[in-house]
Amino acid sequence: MGKTATGIRLFNTLTRQKEEFVPIEFGKVGMYTCGPTVYDYAHIGNFRAFVFEDLLKRWLEYRGFKVVQVMNLTDIDDKTIKGSQKQSKPLREYTDFFANAFFEDIRALKITPATIYPRATDHIPEMVKLIKALLENGYAYKSEDNSIYYAISKFPGYGKLSHIKPAELKAGARVRQDEYAKEEAQDFALWKAYTDEDGNVFWDTELGKGRPGWHIECSAMSMKYLGETFDIHCGGVDNIFPHHENEIAQSEAATGKPFVLYWMHNEHLLVEGKKMAKRLGNFYTLRDLLQKGLDPLAIRYLLLSTHYRQQFNFTFEGLEAAKGAIERLANLQRRLQDANGKTDEEKLSELTQRVQTCFGAAMDDDLNVSVALASLFDFVREINYMLDANALSHEEAQKVYQTISEFDKVLGVIPKPKEESLPPEAQILIQKREEARKAKDWKTADAAREELKAMGIILEDTAQGIRWKREKT
C-alpha cells in the first residue's frame, strides 16, 4: 500500500472520525456509489447524494487523483418488480425508461458520468458465484422454501458500520424483503426462491429458480469492477442499515479481506423544513422542479452548498439565493473579458494566493464546501473592486478568469456563455438598439436600453463590442 500523505481528510462512518485519506494505490481512487433503483424518477433527496458524490469525485480529481467511479443501477428488486407489474410491462422495458430518465437528469445537473454504470440484471452470474462462496464457507444457508439467507450470527463484525448490537438479534429470524428497519435486523435474503408474485421475473441458476436480494447486487458489482478491497463507498445515511452493513457482511465473509477503507454518507434532505413526503405535497423529482422553470444549475449549487454531513433544508428561497450566487460568478467572468487597466500586482497575488489556500484547505477538510465557497466569494468581491478601479490588465484578468474556471471544475455551476441565453424579446431589443445607434437615432436606442434594464439586463459597450450582464442580485 502506498502510504503517501494526501492532505485530504475524510469522515469515515466506519470509525466515526475524520481520517487522513490514503488510497490503496498511489494516485488512484476506486469509488463505489450506490446508484438509483430505476423504478421511478429520482427525487431531489436522491440527487443530494449524487451531487455530493460528484463533488467528492471532482475534488479528488482536482487534487490529481485518477478516479474510477462505479455506480450501479438497481434494475431488479422488490420495487422494480412491483412497478413493472403495475404497468404490465416487461421488467427491462420498465427499468430502461427510468434509467434513461436518470441519465437525462444527471446531465441537467452537470453530474459528471461515472466510469461505468453496471446493471444488476447483467451481473446475475457474479451474484450466484458470490452466494455459492458464502454457502460453501458456512455464512449462508438454504431455508425451507429454497431461498438462501445470510446467517448474521456467523459474522462477528456484523453491526460494525451501523453500530447495531447483534446481541439483540433473534437467532435464525429471517427477513425476506429488501428494505427493513434496524429493529428488524435478521438473517437477510441473498437469493429469493421464485414465488408467483415474481410473475415472469426469474433466473434459472445453480441456486434454483429465483432472483437475487438487493444487497448482494452491490457486493458483486463493486468487487467485480474495483477489486475485493477498494477505497471509498458512498451513499445516503439511510443506506447504512441494512444495505451497507449487509454489503460488508457478504463481501468480507466471502473474501476474508476488508471490503472498503472509507465509508462516506450524506445526511437527509428536508424540503421547506419537513421530511419530504408525497402526502405533505413537498415531494419533488428533479423534473417537477424543472417544469416549474427552475434553473438546474441553481438546484445543483443549492444541493452542494451545504456540507454533506449536515441535514439540509431545501427551500425555494434558498434556490433564489443560489441563482444569485451563480450570477455573481458568471457576471465576474464576463467583466474579466473586458478588463483593460493596469494591474495592482501585489494585491492580485495576495488575493489569488489567499483564495487558493483557503478553498483548498477547506475542501481537503472533509469537503467543507461552505468555507470554500465563502473564500471564493470574498475573492469575487475583491476582484470586482479591482475592476471598478480599473486595476486589472487584460492579461492578468485572463489569469483570474482561469483561476475561477479551475474552481468551477470542482463546483460545476457557472453556465457556459452560450448556455446562458437571453429571452427572445431581449435579443430583439438589443438588435433594435444596435440598428437605432447605427442610424444615430439616440432616442430609440436609449429607450431600448431602458426596456432591457427593466428586464434586469444591463448593456455595456466595450472595445470588443456590446456585452450584456444580469443586474446584480
Least Cα distance to 334 among 209, 211, 464 occurs for 464
Phi first, then psi: give them for residue 163, nearest 5 degrees.
Answer: 60, 30
According to DSSP, residue 43 is labeled B
Q: How far is the CB of 254 from Zn ion (least distance, A)?
A: 16
Q: What angle do CA 292, 294, 296 make, to 5 degrees?
A: 130
Min dist. Cβ of residue 411 to Zn ion (A): 27
- Considering the complex, state which of residue 247 and residue 327 has its C-beta at the smaller distance from Zn ion: 247
Strands (E), 28-74: 28-33, 66-71
Q: In the bound complex, what is the minimum distance in angstroms from residue 83's beta carbon to Zn ion?
A: 18
CB-nearer residue toward Zn ion: 47 or 379: 47
Q: Are 233 and 218 in contact (CB under 8 A)?
A: no
Site stretch for Zn ion (CB under 5 A), options 30-38, 81-89, 376-384, 442-450: 30-38
Distance of closest approach, residue 256 Cβ to Zn ion, in angstroms: 22
From the CB of 38, what's the least distance to Zn ion, in Å?
13
User: CB under 5 A: which stretch of 10-18, 28-36, 156-164, 324-332 binds Zn ion?
Assistant: 28-36
User: Which is closer to Zn ion, CB of 12 or CB of 72?
Assistant: 72
Taking the complex as a whole, how short is the minimal distance between the CB of residue 208 and Zn ion, in angstroms? 24
Of the pair 118, 360, the CB lying nearest Zn ion is at 118
Among 10, 31, 34, 164, binds Zn ion (CB under 5 A): 34
Given a contact cutoff of 8 angstroms between Cβ atoms, the answer to whether 303 and 295 are in contact is no
The residue (of 111 and 452) whose beta carbon lies closer to Zn ion is 111
Task: Mark 161-200 with x for binding to Zn ion (rule: CB under 5 A) and - for no binding.
Answer: ----------------------------------------
Say which residue the cell 429493529 belongs to: 183
Task: Single out the segment in contact with Zn ion by CB under 5 A; choices: 216-224, 314-322, 350-358, 404-412.
Answer: 216-224
Residue closer to Zn ion by CB (options 120, 332) is: 120
CB atoms within 10 A of CB 213: 27
CB of 29 to Zn ion, least distance (A): 18
Nearer to Zn ion, 179 or 382 (CB): 179
Rounded Cα–Cα distance for residues 266 and 270 (Å) = 13
Q: Are strands 203-205 and 208-212 parallel, antiparallel or unpaired?
A: antiparallel
Binds Zn ion (CB under 5 A): choice among 218, 289, 294, 448: 218
CA torsion through residues 373, 374, 375, 378, sign = positive
Select the span of 31-39, 253-261, 405-413, 441-449 touching Zn ion (CB under 5 A). Answer: 31-39
Looking at the Cβ atoms of 80 and 305, the one nearer to Zn ion is 80
Q: Show the site string, 243-282: x = touches Zn ion by CB under 5 A, - = not.
A: ----------------------------------------
Specify which residues 174 forms β-bridges with: 187
3-class secondary structure, 264: strand
Cα–Cα distance list, 419 to 113, 277, 412, 422, 428 (Å): 20, 33, 13, 9, 18
213: part of which helix (H) or strand (E)? none
Residue 118 vs 412, nearer CB to Zn ion: 118
Distances (CA, A) of 75 to 90, 123, 124, 178, 236: 12, 11, 12, 13, 19
251 closest CA partner among 226, 213, 218: 218
Q: Which stretch binds Zn ion (CB under 5 A): 27-35, 60-68, 182-190, 301-309?
A: 27-35
Residue whose grid cell is 422553470: 293
Minimum distance of Zn ion from residue 22's CB (angstroms): 24
Strand 28-33 versus strand 230-236 pairing type = parallel
SS3 417: coil
Using the rule CB under 5 A, give the single segment among 192-200, 218-226, 311-319, 357-365 that binds Zn ion.
218-226
Burial of 400 (0-12, 13-18, 19+ CB in 10 A): buried
**Coarse DSSP helix, strand, coil percentages of the chain, rounded to the nearest 5 percent:** 50, 20, 35
> For every residue of 161-201, which 3-state class applies, written as one string?
CCCCCHHHCCCCCEECCCCCCHHHCCEEEEEEECCHHHCCC
Nearer to Zn ion, 40 or 434 (CB): 40
Q: How many residues sit in the footprint of Zn ion (CB under 5 A)?
A: 2
* Window 437-456: contact mask with Zn ion (x via CB under 5 A): --------------------
373 binds Zn ion (CB under 5 A): no
Closest CB 46 distance from Zn ion, rounded Å: 13
CB 30, min distance to Zn ion, A: 15
Q: Least distance (Å) from Zn ion to the CB of residue 212?
A: 12
Closest CB to Zn ion among residues 51, 330: 51
Cβ nearer to Zn ion, comparing 34 with 322: 34
Binding residues (CB under 5 A) for Zn ion: these are 34, 218
